[in-house]
Amino acid sequence: MRQPMVAGNWKMNATRWEAENLVRAIKEAEPDPSAVEILVCPPFTAIDAVARVLKGSPIRYGAQNLFWEKNGAYTGEISGEMLRDLGCRYVILGHSERRQIFGESDQDVARKYAAAKRSGLIPVLCVGETEEQRSQGITEQVVSAQLQAILQQTDAATFHGTVIAYEPVWAIGTGLTATPDQAQEVHAFLRAELHAFDSGVGASTRILYGGSVKAENAAEIFSRPDIDGGLIGGASLKAEEFLRICAAA
């Protein structure tokens, strides 16, 4: 009943020309939209180019971040309303690179979440622990605090449709992947938290796994009951590999 999803986070990669070529190759393979929802998140500068290629396609596109104000004197920032104007449907929020490199706190992510909802975007909310936090045995505390920062300011009707991405920080871009059992354990914990918030939200929310997913390991990870697909970084920049991951979902 939860449609699998595979989302590509292109990070700060791809000129407009490279983005067009990449997304055209994905589109031309005609992946079955009833089997998996596919999302690509190019950098801001390539969103419009990707949108033109995807016109009429069931493949979705979105952004990797936003700022919480609608407009104004916020040099260098982009609002949710601007992303909607480009036709974005989704926005990634709270990615660990935003949290770690740009110092985004749980409260910042919560403000961005509210802004995404205000502008009609669907958040893909990232949560995940560092290697140190895992070794301290506080993984559940960390992901719970990241999730609760959002749940405490919203209600079930507003939250509905939100996508969660569990991304252990130690597995992002490192080649280290959580084992399917390690990932399933945290996904089940997150689903229980969502269920305690609202049983319908618990049952319907898609929880994606992210962290060095590749064509070779995707099927095994996605086979676990609480893993509804993946958020893919490096491997989403190669059309053929990304399509193989989509086919595994």
Q: Catalytic site residues?
A: 95, 167
Only segment of 31-39, 71-79, 106-114, 230-238 that touches ligand PEP (CB under 6 A): 230-238
Minimum distance between the CB of residue 237 and ligand PEP, rounded to whole angstroms?
Answer: 9
Q: Tell which positions 65-124 bind ligand PEP, by CB under 6 A.
A: none
Say whether 234 counts as a known binding-site residue: yes
Strand pairing category for 60-63 and 5-9: unpaired
Name the token pair of 54: 């995807």
Identified binder of ligand PEP from the candidate list 36, 125, 213, 246, rule CB under 6 A: 213
Residues 153-172, mask of contacts with ligand PEP (x by CB under 6 A): --------------x----x
What 3-state DSSP class applies to 217? helix
Only segment of 25-33, 63-71, 178-186, 207-215 that touches ligand PEP (CB under 6 A): 207-215
Identified binder of ligand PEP from the candidate list 8, 80, 128, 211, rule CB under 6 A: 211
Only segment of 79-87, 98-106, 193-201, 228-236 that touches ligand PEP (CB under 6 A): 228-236
d(CA 36, CA 6): 7
What 3-state DSSP class applies to 157? helix
Minimum distance between the CB of residue 76 and ligand PEP, rounded to whole angstroms?
Answer: 21
Q: To 5 degrees, how large is the angle CA 47–CA 51–CA 55?
A: 175
Q: Are 10 and 47 in contact (CB under 8 A)?
A: no
Q: What is the dihedral of CA 126, 127, 131, 136, to 10 degrees?
A: 180
Name the residue with the smallest CB distance to ligand PEP.
233
Say whether 62 counts as a known binding-site residue: no
Say whether 68 counts as a known binding-site residue: no
Identified binder of ligand PEP from the candidate list 212, 239, 245, 248, rule CB under 6 A: 212
Say whether 135 counts as a known binding-site residue: no
Q: DSSP letters of 57-111? A: -S-EEEES--BSSSSSS-TT--BHHHHHHTT--EEEES-HHHHHHS---HHHHHH
Interaction site with ligand PEP (CB under 6 A): 9, 167, 172-173, 210-213, 231-235
